[in-house]
Amino acid sequence: MTPQDVLKTVSIDPTSLVDFVPYIIAGVWVLVVFWVLIIWYVRKVRAKARLMHRTVTFLVRLPKETGKEGEKATSIEQLREDISVTETFFSAIGGLHPEGGLGAFLSGYKEVFAFEFVAHGGLISFYITVPEEKTEFIEQQIHAQFPDAAINIAPDYNMFTPKSTIIGTAMTFRRESAFPIKTYRKLEGDPLSGLTHPLTKMREHEGVAIQFLVKSAKPNWRNYGLQIVRKLQKGKTLHQIENERSIFHILGTFWDAGMKSEEQKEKDKQELKENKLSPMEEEMVKGLDEKASKAGLDVNVRVVVSSEDKDRVAELLTNIVSSFSQFSIYEFGNAFQKSIPSNKKKFLHDFIYRTFDDGKKITLNTEELASVWHLPLPSTETPNINWLIARGSAPPANIPTSGLRLGEVEYRGVHTDIYMKEDDRRRHLYMIGKSGSGKTNTIEALAIQDIRAGRGVGIIDPNGDLIEWILGNIPPERIDDVILFKPSDLERPMGLNMLEAKTEEQKDFAAAEMVQIFYKLYGPEMIGPMFEHDMRNVMLTLMSDVNDVGTLTEIPRMFSDAEYQKVWRAKIKDPVVKSYWDNEVDKTSDFHKSEKLGYLISKVGRFVENEMMRNIIGQKKSSFDFRDVMDKSKILLVNLSKGTTGEINAKLLGMIMVTKLQMAAFSRAELQESERKDFYLYIDEFQNFVTDSIATILSEARKYRLCLIVAHQYLNQLAEGGKREVLDAVLGNVGTTLVSRIGPEDVETLVKLYEPTFGPFDLMNSPKQTWYTKMIIDDNSTRPFAMHGYWAGKTDPELAKKIYELSRLKYGRPRDLVAAEILERSQLGQKKDVDALPDPFAELLK
């Protein structure tokens, strides 16, 4: 029976339908009201559920340089390989069990992951927001694919201000999700650059976010695509296939089924078989197949723009929406289109709370999603990206759990405190980094640990701030241990006599070191062999009597005052020194003596004529015993602030201090090694206070328990005039090295310690208080790692003042008394009225 025959057999009275119209209208209204109530209830339930679905927002950063070879992607193949890593990451999400059923409808989706680009505050940042119960899963996946990534839990961003104008749009597909878009494998560049480029032109109080909400798709998402492939292969055109889903085509199919003859149906089938696919249609079939072959993810794409300039928001939104056109395959594929929300308030609510909207859902496979969202690559040239400045690395597994706490490592969610054993500290610690990298603060934190632990500590500070901070943190039980040496305290100067020596070995060492100090102060071009010869012999002469030694201030008078010279020559026991006076000085003409005197005065006289320096180095007896400081674990604080002491004066006093401590350490050879207490000497800007003998300290002072912690800014400071003795001694002997933000000149040398874990970019760009650490543990070198130093805290200025006053009263001497003693001694002990004595250096220094 044909449809026509059916219609003939059915007779309907049109007037009878009118009676049912009110009932039909009432039924429709009931259904509408019922549906509205259901939607209202579902939204209410979902709003409550969202409050219970806790999420965690991660800020994800990568280093600009990979560190593998410090190279960027140089080819499109390398670029695609780098992006494919993100595709693997999304495959893990696509492999999760998809949510569905009445529970998901009522309470909303729980396993929704948000991936966002956010331009705000001058930076383009990459955020990932995940359900709380999936944080570990996502962290593991990110670290598996991006080993160098830093994942930090961050407060949710806010790019809105009270004056902001806010607009946004959802991005949907022009066709069914089964149709593919152009992916990174077909593009000739990084699609991320196209998406983020409009974000680089943000002004103050503007913000843009591109949000991708992602959840695992049900397996049937690919069915329609596979149907299209089969129908195309059977000969249907794409236009015919797309029309098949319309209601008119469905009704027409029923009509054709009854009206067409069998002969016509066979003819239609034959025509389909004869239809051949065009090359573009074949490419489309391939694209549909490839899209269906990979894991699928349901995605909401939202773009939100905020600006206090009303005229700017539309422009910004248009630019960002336009950047999605790079993914378009117009005729035989898919393309993004904007979908302006009808309910702006609901749209922004869903954006802020990251609520998945089934009405704006599109389905992407992992390749497509990796194309529209991936982390920046080393080759990404978009400015203002929030890069990771310092790459991290796991600390060695055998890090000690006690000792000196150097800092901490936060790596992949695991916190590790970094300690250094006492035995390993005897191999010394070396810090290098530009100004502002955190050297002084690190010294503060380490030194105060030693002080609080009751250890012997010496600190040489060229600026003064470090000493002031330390003074304000001295524990009460150690106040009496403090010795504060401050040259700028003119009223109570402390004595520091370089020529104090208790043994013949110490005499030779002190004389040799003093010559080296002059070389350091003036340079080898200004200090010749004759100066070295004369200086050495006159100092040994002044040290002839260990019970009554001379001082540096008396050196010029040894050549200008014959009577004064006689007194000291009578004490000489060394035949070589005696020969110097008898066979050289006595046989030198007065003219040449005057030349020699002028040359010596030009080097030594500048310290003699300076009252501050004269009252320090002119005292016969040092104000404290360096050996006693070490053996009794005292606290020696040396404030050599250049602003108050003078640069050249600070250098001289600092080098004398280091030499005296070295002499004291070596003198402990008489003790059993087990009886020698460790003494920790901290030297900031240490290149100013060491001579070539630093090699001896680094290699031998270990057994005498003099442990160095030294810091400075760049390597050339240790290689003045091209001499590398100090530099080589440091690099060759120091056990633990901390590097933070060095210059390119130093990278070539120091990167050898850290490769392949860290590269040049890392060493040059680490943030403040981040140290690339190469340490020894139990005398064995470890793999390098990145360590964060910690802040030492606040200081107590009032406590610092009190300790300073106590120290100066204990160890300083009245200025007038010191000056009188120097004047009296210069007159060979003659008893005269001190006030009537002329300055013995006045004529000498004219």
Q: With 90 as the cut, is the pLDDT of residue 248 above it?
A: no
Please state, in angstroms and rounded to a whole number, the distance separating the CA atoms of residues 120 and 57: 16
Q: With 60 as the cut, is the pLDDT of residue 646 above it?
A: yes
Two tokens at 369? 């999603």
SS3 for 391? coil
Q: Name residues whose C-beta falls within 8 Å of residue 39's C-beta, 6 or more positions apart in sequence.
A: none
Q: With 50 as the cut, is the pLDDT of residue 230 above it?
A: yes
Work out the angle at residue 602's Cα, subtended by the Cα atoms of residues 564 and 550, and round it to the nearest 5 degrees: 35
The per-residue pLDDT for 259 is: 55
Please state, in angstroms and rounded to a whole number, the distance separating the CA atoms of residues 195 and 167: 18
The 10 Å CB-count burial string (b at 16+, else e) for 123-139 is: ebbbbbbbbeebbebbb
For the residues 485-507, what does the mean pLDDT come to?
91
Confidence of residue 837 (pLDDT cuts 50, 70, 90): very low
Residue ranges covered by each domain of the chain: 1-52, 53-174+187-221+295-324+336-372
**Are the CB atoms for 572 and 544 separated by under 8 Å?**
yes
**Are the CB atoms for 658 and 689 separated by under 8 Å?**
yes
Q: Convert the pLDDT of each residue in 437-448 to its tens digit.
A: 899 999 999 999
Two tokens at 608? 């003699």
206-216 and 165-173 beta bridge pairing = unpaired
Confidence of residue 348 (pLDDT cuts 50, 70, 90): very high
Q: Convert the pLDDT of each residue in 39-71 to its tens digit.
A: 666 655 555 555 456 889 999 999 887 544 444
Two tokens at 268? 């239609």
Confidence of residue 235 (pLDDT cuts 50, 70, 90): low
For 421-507, strand residue ranges (E) read 429-433, 456-461, 482-485
Please tell me the least confidently modeled range out of 169-173, 508-512, 635-639, 838-842. 838-842
Q: With 60 as the cut, is the pLDDT of residue 611 above it?
A: yes
Please state, in angstroms and rounded to a whole number, the distance separating the CA atoms of residues 734 and 752: 15
Give which of 390, 403, 388 is closest to 775, Cα–Cα: 403
For 311-374, strand residue ranges (E) read 336-339, 362-365
Please state, in angstroms and rounded to a whole number, the distance separating the CA atoms of residues 294 and 91: 8
Please state, in angstroms and rounded to a whole number, the distance separating the CA atoms of residues 307 and 208: 9
Partner residues linked to 404 by β-bridges:
420
The per-residue pLDDT for 41 is: 64
Residue 590's CB: how many other CB atoms inside 10 A?
7
The per-residue pLDDT for 212 is: 97
Q: With 50 as the cut, is the pLDDT of residue 760 above it?
A: yes
Instruction: For the chain, state the CA radius of gyration.
Output: 42
**Are the CB atoms for 168 and 304 separated by under 8 Å?**
yes
SS3 for 58? strand
Confidence of residue 255 (pLDDT cuts 50, 70, 90): very low
The per-residue pLDDT for 436 is: 87
Burial class of residue 102, CB neighbours in 10 A (0-12, 13-18, 19+): exposed
Please tell me the least confidently modeled range out of 264-273, 538-547, 689-698. 264-273
Q: Name residues whose C-beta falls within 8 Å of residue 459's C-beta, 6 or more positions apart in sequence.
A: 443, 447, 466, 467, 470, 636, 637, 638, 681, 682, 683, 684
SS3 for 554? helix
Two tokens at 233? 């292969």
The average confidence (pLDDT) of the chain is 84
Please state, in angstroms and rounded to a whole number, the distance separating the CA atoms of residues 47 and 77: 46
**Distances 235 to 172, 229, 290, 422 between C-alpha atoms, Å:** 29, 10, 20, 82
Confidence of residue 720 (pLDDT cuts 50, 70, 90): confident
Quick one: which H or E segment has residue 251? helix 247-259
SS3 for 486? coil
Place of tokens 């560190």: 67
- Fold adopted by 53-174+187-221+295-324+336-372: Vanillyl-alcohol Oxidase; Chain A, domain 3 (3.40.462)
Confidence of residue 460 (pLDDT cuts 50, 70, 90): very high
296-307 and 770-774 beta bridge pairing = unpaired
SS3 for 214? strand
